[in-house]
Structure 1
Amino acid sequence: MKEDIKYSEPVHVNMMKDEDRELKADEETLDLNKPGKKEGWQSHWPLLTALAVLLVMLILEYGFSYQPPFPVNLLIFSIAFLLAGYNVLGMAWRKVRHFDFFNEFFLMSVATLGAFSIGSYSEGVAVMVFYSIGEWFQDTAVNNAKKSIKALLDIRPDKVTVIRDGKTSVTDPKEIKLNEIIQVKAGEKVALDGELYSDTAAFNTAALTGESQPDTKRKGETVLAGMINLDKVSEVQVKALFKDSKLSKILEMVQDATTRKSQTQLFISRFAKIYTPIVFGLALLVCFAPYFFTDPYNFHQWFYRALVFLVISCPCALVVSIPLGYFGGIGLASRNGILFKGSNFLDVMTTINTVIMDKTGTLTKGVFKVQKVVTQDFDEKELIRIAAAIESSSTHPIAKAVVAYARQASGNLKSNNIEEISGHGLKGTVDGKAVLAGNTKLLQKFKIAYPSEIDKLVDTVVIVAVNDTYAGYLTIADEIKDDAKQAIDKMHALNIQTIMLSGDKQAVVDKVAKLLGVDKAFGDLLPDGKVEKVQTFKNEGSRIAFVGDGVNDAPVVALADAGIAMGGLGSDATIETADIVIQNDQPSKITAAIRIGKITKWIVWQNISIAMIVKVTVLALGAGGLANLWEAVIADVGVALLAILNAVRIQKMKVE
């Protein structure tokens, strides 16, 4: 059963200055609507000043064997300490006011003030300086992650040129009404969803689909907000309000994705709540337990070891780098035209062993095209023109396919007296000739003989008879997507079982399955039949991802462990229900989603393993007196930086 995890208002990951963050440290997520911390040395001059003071004092002490007298020494280090740690101390105090003692800020404050209390001024300042430097790097990494995702989102124009009463005016996209005409200049982004009103135009769709290749649109074809006009000035007729555009929904999906946590993130949040108080307890034991076992008992020595224990135990490497890793995974997916609606689904995709797909619109283009023309004692071009002439009065998808195919041959002929015979086809006159165009039942009805092999054809057939004589036929079929075979091969390479479900007749489904190499295929299915099949495979223990695009796919998408919607042409109901949306309708992106999930999980667990191994090792060394505060802070900051750099690496990876 898929887990639907709900969270409160998104909380900014900035560690130092967000009031909500202090009270909800376990709910770290990217709020893309809030600005991050200011970057650059100007905003960190107190920390840099403290670092400079520390370095000067260390050079004097160890390079020239000079140490200022006691009051001066304490004053200099105290100033450096406050410059480096005023944010940490302030955060610790605010948390204490809410009776929250077990957190990294309080832990660091206790450790550094403790170092001052025993005269280890330079070490106390060093702990605070390097901890704050680690926080700086963490903030920078988080801001970069935010920028990476926000770059995807920051593609909606805030102004649009609208044509009203023959005049153009610039206005807010939110004020545009349905069916108004907007003008898009070359290089401009389309602000609202609509249909191309101009004859033709080329668009860059990379922001929406991840595809860099230009997409040429013709009059009446769909144009989406976020596309960039690469051609001359073009006009678009608006078909969706600003708030209802696919782009607006995409922005909401990405924003919401950062609030839904993976099981790993939830585990680490719970772990940190238990881990930190245990560490405080162990530090107290390190300090006071030796009193009962050693003689003489040196309080200064064991107190110092307890401080080392506290410093190295800080869980910040885990608390920050893990959500950062998942943010990176969501960002990587977004750049590849895949939207994960939560980091939990990145984990789910790593467990999938069966991918069940709808046929029409998922593996095929959902557009009927003429595949073959066969004639008998009749000119092929003439047959096409006659068929198109009689079919031009019908709105059926098959009729449209014939008419579209005829445009490529030559101009259509004129037809009249067209009569539709329900369930059979059309009857009429073309250029003075009596014409029939339809299925085998139509010719049987008028007792016209035709070749028997036509009855065995799998594809949809339009048979044409002219003046009561069989003339030939056209086969019509849904075209397979260019990368469908590649997608199936990639899934097999990952040892994933592939299954196809469709409402089409079994013969058509079997033909497509054979061409693509799909493992199992089931046809003649109504929506409840698809649900039944998916439930059967789930009951057998399969971890299922279902991929679909139609309204009738929504129930199955919801039932699967991971529901994937084709977002370019897919229905709004399916996109809303799905956990993952493929924006460019390419089935090859299914394996890309699986790979992104595995990449993310692998790096996240690398960070967990590295952090825990180093921390446990140095904790043991600190308790045994083999590590001092310097080594503790270097190990802590070093592990944090290593984990952050590893997490940031996700955003730069190539999926294929």
Structure 2
Amino acid sequence: MANLIKTQHTCCCHNDHCTPNNEHSSWKKYLPAIISFLMLVAGLLAEHVFHVAFFTGYIKLAWYILAYLPVGIPVLKESVESISHKDFFNEFTLMTIATLGAFFIKEYPEGVAVMLFYSVGELFQDAAVNKAKSNIKALLDIRPDMATVLRDGEYITLSPSEVKIGETIQVKAGEKVPLDGILLSQESSFNTSALTGESKPRTIRKDETVLSGMMNIDKVIEVQVQKLYEDSAFSRILAMVQDATSRKAKTELLIRRFARIYTPIVFFLALAIATVPALFISDYVFQTWLYRALVFLVISCPCALVISIPLGYFGGIGAASRNGILFKGANYLDMMPAINVVAMDKTGTLTKGVFEVQNIATNHNPDTFMSICGSIESQSKHPIAKAILSYCNTKQIPIMPVSEAEEIAGHGIKGVVNNQTILAGNARLMDKYNVGYDKQIDSIPETIVIIAIDNVYAGYVTIADEVKKDAAYTISKMREYGIKTVMLSGDKASIVEKMASELSIDEAYGNLLPEDKIKYVERLKKNPEHKVAFVGDGINDAPVLALSDIGIAMGAMGSDAAIEIADVVIQTDEPSKIVSAIKISKKTRRIVKQNITMAFTVKLAVLILGTIGFASMWGAVFADVGVALLAILNAVRVLNYKEVSLS
């Protein structure tokens, strides 16, 4: 309302709006409405109940003017400011004309009441927006202010923005991690709820990644910084949420365009109601028809639409954030219910991506073989590489230096170890370099890493992955929603088909290169009835995430490239959050539609009644402010959505 235009055109996370001790927390904001209400009630009692003799004429006018000013001055200022910028037709102008017109025809209490309830509506709107902001305020609350960094042999306290990559920071129990890094201590437990929405503490061990915003709840730890403050997980998430509030949904943009056309139309219609009847009605009374025109103006004010629809989307973004889901814009929240095909990567999306070495087959010494294998895989960030390195660390197998390392997307990795050219990857990598190997390997269902030394087959390692606990639930819920599921994986076709059968996935394709995934998604999108979402976590998934109608990144373990290019980021490793995202988007869309229908239906009915003289200014107040309040209360319902974690 009075603050609405300002609020909606600025980011919800500007510091002047999101700090805990801002002006919204002060009781003083209620004082103007309280004063006006008490004076209005006192005036009505004096006039209609106690029939105070002197409460007439100028005394009565002065009393209601004083009652009007506390709530009227802010709107009058906005109206004057809008007119000075040549914006003549807006809600401030409508309310100013309507209330001053009521005073002109000596309907003083009604003029005060309209502006009072308008002010009360503004307070409700502020409260609703503040509630919607609470999830984003929580992000600001977790922002670490200081970092304890090791320099010149001693720990000093600095701003996180002053800490450099490679430096060691210390985080005490109960403190927030200020920067992304690698845990140097043996292990510790962390509260990750502010980042992921997951209340269960997470144990992180030595050499694993720790993210800014996590709270250390166990013991004093040391962390080696891997990213600058502006590139940290917290900064990235906050930027996403800030951007999200500025990207409007189609419905929201449509309503704004509608309001810009609608407002001048109703102004001239009101003018016509006041004047045109004089040409056709013999007993025309200007005051009667002016009153009807003023009622028409109050009813037609587009507050309910202009407030509740953006608030509905804003609430949906806030509810999603609270559940560990980041929509990068209301436009994606609005588009989500239309998705009817979900294509998914396998590793890290439907499976845990936590591989373990199961079997080693080689004619070489097993430790020497695994030393070569671990050395070349040390140059890769793939989950399979981590499994091999973990095995080497556990068995204390040495890792040798690697030169000329080259990761070949969808194939594996090539490099030089101990003056020998090493190939480590899948069968496609062997075929690419014409390395002969035992073709019976192709029939093994598990994930396999084949090793060649100087273009001669040397052996293989089998790796096992585990399906996530909530994967089956995710697929079954999508089927309930009528969503077709497709698995696109670079893993072996035998593994992909087996998993697809276990989870009842509609279609599954394995042995895919990144460009193959793009072709499959392009094929799906050729059907005009298909709205396709793709879910992935790796750097290889970035192109197909960009191609899909909605790209969804699994953010907890996902690559930076995937997270940056995706439209929706799941901050946990739970695929069931995709279902949560669909539920929240459907609920938000339903609430927005309800508000549009309610606002138009009530306003149209009262507009007709007002035009023919059956609705008073009090009825107009309900049609305008009353419907706005109902729409606001309806819009904030989405904020209460909380999905129970299944894993």
Task: Provide TM-score, normalisation by structure 2.
Answer: 0.85
Are 1:170 and 2:157 an aligned pair? yes
Pick from 365, 384, 409 the counterpart of residue 352 of structure 2: 365
- Tell me how far 1:38 sits from its aligned partner: 3.1
Counterpart in 2 of 1:614? Answer: 602
Partner of 1:132: 119
1:404-415 correspondence to structure 2 within 5 Å: 404=390
Aligned residue for 2:627, secondary structure, equals helix
Aligned to 1:3: none
Cα distance in 2 for residues equivalent to 1:481 and 1:222 = 20
Q: Secondary structure, in 3 states, of the residue corresponding to 2:338?
A: coil
Written as runs of structure 1 = structure 2, the 5 A alignment for 1:393-412 is 394-395=373-374, 401=387, 404=390
**Residue 415 (structure 2) aligns with:** none
Q: Distance in 2 between matches of 1:581 and 1:55?
A: 52
| Residue aligning to 2:556 | 568
Taking the aligned partners of 2:631 and 2:449, their CA distance within structure 1 comes to: 63
Supply the distance in 1 between the matched residues of 2:398 and 2:171 (Cα, whole angstroms).
Answer: 38
Paired residue for 1:479?
466
Distance (whole Å) between structure 2 residues aligned to residue 278 and residue 106 of structure 1? 13
Change (3 A) 1:39 1:62: farther
Q: Deviations over 1:580-630 (max 9, x none)?
A: 111113211111111111011111111111111111111111111111112
Deviations 1:135-160 (A, max 9, x none): 12212222232233221343111111
**Contact 2:470–2:575 (8 Å) recurs in 1:** yes
Counterpart among 34, 50, 55 of residue 16 in structure 2? 34
| Equivalent residues, number | 594
TM-superposed CA distance for 1:251, in Å, is 0.6
Relative to 1, partners in 2 of residues 1:406 and 1:354: Cα closer, same or farther, differing over 3 Å? same
Matches of 2:279 and 2:399 in 1, distance apart?
107
Tell me the residue number matched to 1:490.
Answer: 477
Question: Are 2:332 and 1:345 equivalent residues in the alignment?
Answer: yes
Q: Aligned residue for 2:370?
A: 391
Match of 2:536 among 540, 548, 557: 548
Equivalent position of 2:35 in the other structure: 49
Identity of aligned residues (%): 55
In the alignment, which residue of structure 2 is the partner of 1:326? 313
* SS of residue matched to 1:34: helix
Report if the CA contact (8 A) 1:391-1:403 is conserved: no
Corresponding letter in the other structure for 2:107:
S
> Contact (CA 8 Å) 1:392, 1:403: kept in 2 or not?
no
Do the aligned partners of residues 400 and 570 (structure 1) sit closer, same or farther apart at CA in structure 2, a change above 3 Å counting?
Answer: closer
Show the counterpart of 2:637.
649
Unaligned runs of 5+ in 1: 1-13, 375-382, 417-422, 424-437, 441-450, 464-471
Spell out, residue by residue over 1:77-134, the C-alpha distance to the aligned partner (whole angstroms, 9 max, x if none): 1111112200001111111112212111000010011111111111111111111111
The amino acid that maps onto 2:620 is A
Alpha-carbon distance in structure 2 between the residues aligned to 1:400 and 1:545: 28
Say yes or no: does 1:228 pair with 2:215: yes
Q: Distance in 1 between matches of 2:84 and 2:196?
A: 49
Q: 1:255 Cα deviation (Å)? A: 0.3
Alignment CA distance shift 1:104-1:455 (3 Å): closer
Tell me whether 1:87 sits opposite 2:74 in the alignment.
yes
Name the CA distance, whole Å, in 2 between partners of 1:458 and 1:81: 79
Query: Counterpart of 1:159?
Result: 146
Q: Structure 1 counterpart of 2:572, which letter?
A: N
**1:528 pairs with 2:503:** no
Name the residue aligned to 1:58: 44
Q: Counterpart in 2 of 1:434? A: none
Q: Does 1:255 align with 2:242?
A: yes
- Relative to 1, partners in 2 of residues 1:620 and 1:201: Cα closer, same or farther, differing over 3 Å? same
Provide the rounded CA distance (Å) in 1 between the counterparts of 2:626 and 2:286.
Answer: 29
In the aligned structure 1, how far is the partner of 2:399 from the partner of 2:327? 52
Q: Which moved more, 1:387-396 or 1:203-212?
A: 387-396
Kindly state the Cα deviation for residue 365 of structure 1 after the two structures are TM-superposed. 2.6
Contact persistence 1:89–1:109 (CA under 8 A): yes
Shift of 1:402: 6.5
Alpha-carbon contact 2:11-2:245 (below 8 Å) kept:
yes
Partner Cα distance (1:91, 1:462) in 2: 68
Q: Secondary structure at the match of 1:38?
A: helix
Does the aligned pair in 2 maintain the 1:190–1:229 contact within 8 Å? Answer: yes
Per-residue deviation, 1:45: 2.1
Q: Which protein is bigger by CA-based radius of gyration?
A: 1
Aligned-pair CA distance for 1:70: 0.4
Relative to the length of structure 1, the TM-score reads 0.84
| Structure 1 Cα separation of the partners of residues 233 and 11 of structure 2 | 24
**1:394 corresponds to which letter in structure 2?**
C
**Residue type matched to 2:63 in 1?**
I
Inter-CA distance 271–412: structure 2 relative to 1 (3 Å threshold): closer
Q: Whole-Å Cα distance in 1 between the matches of residues 294 and 496 of structure 2?
A: 69
1:77 corresponds in structure 2 to: 64
- Give the corresponding residue for 1:604: 592
Give the 3 Å change call, closer, same or farther, for CA 237–115 of structure 1 in structure 2. same
Superposition deviation, residue 335 in structure 1: 0.8
Provide the residue aligned with 2:430 in structure 1: none
Counterpart Cα distance in 1 of 2:388 and 2:500: 25
State the AA in 1 paired with 2:567: D
Q: Which of 189, 211, 225 is matched with 1:238 structurally?
A: 225
Give the deviation of 1:413 after TM superposition.
9.5
Q: Distance in 2 between matches of 1:653 and 1:205?
A: 20
Cα shift at 1:196: 0.5
CA contact (8 A) 2:2 2:74 kept: no
